[in-house]
Amino acid sequence: MRKVISIAIAIILLISAVLIAQFLINNKQKPKPKTEKIVKTVFTEIVNNKSIPIVITTNGNLVAKNKIELYSEVQGILETSSKEFKQGTFYSKGETIIKINSDEFYTNLQAQKSNLFNVITAVIPDIRLDFPSEYQKWQNYLQNFNTNKSLQKLPETTSEKEKFFISGRGINTAYYNVKNLEVKLNKHNLRAPFNGILTESLVNPGTLIRVGQKLGEFIDPSVYEIAVSVKSEFRDLLQVGKQVELYNLGKTKTWIGKVIRINGKVDTSTQTIKAFIEVNGKDLKEGQYVEIALQAKAEENAFEVSRNLLIENSKLYIVKDSILDLVNVNLIFENEKSIIVKGLANGTVLLSKPVPGSHIGMLVKISTENKKQ
């Protein structure tokens, strides 16, 4: 019985081996499916090395060179003047910008002038007796005394005795009380120090103005400054008096400015140095955004490409025999949009647009829409 079972098992194993072998032979004979290679279409440009001028661009906002903030040094009611105290109002040099009511102050001033006049009048007889040679100058001072005009300077004393006499009678004290009030009275009227425009107005006529209160801003719109930061390695390009080109955001207008000041300190956090450029033009406005172009040296035998093509800060993709390769380049200069490199031979086929998923050895095809070089 055991012999029969062993023979049956052997037969089953033999049949199984034959079936497996037949399956493997049949499977091997089936053709494997062909995998199609993906070929990406790329845009390229032909390297043509040449002399490329390096232009350093920076930007900033214009600030009026002559600009003052208007603050009140006295208290009182703001009065109307010949022009409205509104933004955009033009004032000529010397014209009243702000007028604060000074009736009470003026009355006090006149009282102090009268007091000075009375004090001098009271000592005139003594001056005539004790200082006969000095009498005439004091008499002339009284005759020319006008309470409606700014107080004249007191006559000069010619001796210590006269000096002590005048001081002892309170004339000097009365005189300087008047001068102090005259100074304060003048602060009730703020006059334009130059031809300019009111760019900020914070109060209206009838408002109670307090000491130290900001009233507005006043600028000269004829000349502006702009502060720019330049990398310290290019500080040699910054020279006082050097002309620079400025243009608006859309590059539709340009102006010529000049460097007027250079900071002597490098910013430790950004390693930049600040320069100040002066520019004037009728189309310029306070706070306007402008860009500045500083001409640097020309780099010979170089090539300019888009910044987003740079790989690992020192490599670019080229196409050779329809295959991508990555080559090292020498980065000379970079800005926000482009880079200037050296190390590429003339005629090298360079990628002009980034390729997603690109890698060394990638099979590519140059686009028929590619620009002819």
Q: pLDDT tens, 130-154? A: 889 999 999 999 999 998 889 999 9
Torsion of CA 263, 267, 271, 277, to 10 degrees: -30
According to the model, what pLDDT value does residue 57 have? 81
Burial 231-250 (b: 16+ CB within 10 A, else e): eeebeebbeeebebbbeeee
Return the minimum-mean-pLDDT range out of 294-298, 311-315, 339-343. Answer: 294-298
For 275-288, the pLDDT digits (tens) are 899 999 888 999 99
Task: Decide: 322 and 75 in contact? Cβ < 8 Å.
Answer: no
Domains along the chain with CATH numbers: 42-53+299-366 (2.40.420), 56-63+221-297 (2.40.30.170), 66-101+188-219 (2.40.50.100), 104-186 (no CATH)
Q: Would the pLDDT of 83 be above 50? A: yes
Q: pLDDT tens-digit profile of 180-212?
A: 999 999 999 999 999 999 999 999 999 999 999
In 62-178, DSSP assigns E strands to: 63-64, 67-71, 76-79, 90-91, 96-100
Strands 40-42 and 364-366, sheet pairing: parallel
CA–CA distance, 190 with 72 (Å, rounded to integer): 9
pLDDT score recorded for residue 264: 84
State the average pLDDT over residues 98-108: 91
Q: What number of CA atoms fall less than 13 Å from residue 172's CA on the CB side?
A: 9
Closest CA to 276 of 300, 246, 298, 308: 246
Distance CA 114, CA 108 (A): 10
- At 91 the pLDDT is 94
Euclidean distance between CA atoms 101 and 107, whole angstroms: 12
- Comparing C-alpha atoms, which of 68, 86, 85 is closest to residue 286? 68
pLDDT exceeds cutoff 60 at 33: no
User: How many angstroms separate the CA atoms of 227 and 128, rounded?
Assistant: 66
The radius of gyration of the chain's CA atoms, rounded to the nearest angstrom, is: 44
Of the chain, the percentage scoring pLDDT greater than 70 comes to 89
Mean pLDDT of the residues in the chain = 86
Q: Do 188 and 99 contact (CB within 8 A), yes or no?
A: yes
pLDDT at 233 over 80: no
In angstroms, the CA 278 to CA 265 distance is 20
Structure tokens, 65 = 């060179």
Look at residues 65, 99, 91 and name the one whose alpha carbon lies nearest to residue 198.
Answer: 91
Mean pLDDT score, 212-237: 88
Neighbours of 43 (CB within 10 A): 14
Per-residue pLDDT for 240 more than 90?
A: no
pLDDT greater at residue 26 or residue 15: 15
Reported confidence tier of residue 11, pLDDT bands at 50, 70, 90: low
Top-confidence residue, 182 or 299: 182
pLDDT score, position 228: 87
Please answer whether residues 337 and 306 qualify as being in contact, where contact means their C-beta atoms are separated by less than 8 angstroms: yes
**Are the C-beta atoms of 178 and 154 separated by less than 8 Å?**
no
What number is the average pLDDT over the span 38-53? Answer: 88
Top-confidence residue, 296 or 364:
364
pLDDT of residue 122: 92
| 235-263 average pLDDT score | 86
Percent of the chain with pLDDT over 90: 48
CA atoms within 13 A on the CB side of 24: 6
Angstrom distance (rounded) from CA 285 to CA 61:
9
Q: Are 325 and 318 in contact (CB under 8 A)?
A: yes
Q: Give this prediction's pTM.
A: 0.65
User: What is the model's pLDDT at position 220?
Assistant: 94
C-alpha of 217 from chain center: 19
| Average of per-residue pLDDT across 259-275 | 87
pLDDT at 17 over 70: no
How far is 102 from 187, CA to CA, in rounded Å? Answer: 9
> What would the two tokens of residue 129 be?
């007796």
Q: In whole angstroms, what is the distance from residue 248 CA to residue 287 CA? A: 12
Predicted confidence at residue 373, as pLDDT, reads 45
148-177 average pLDDT score: 91
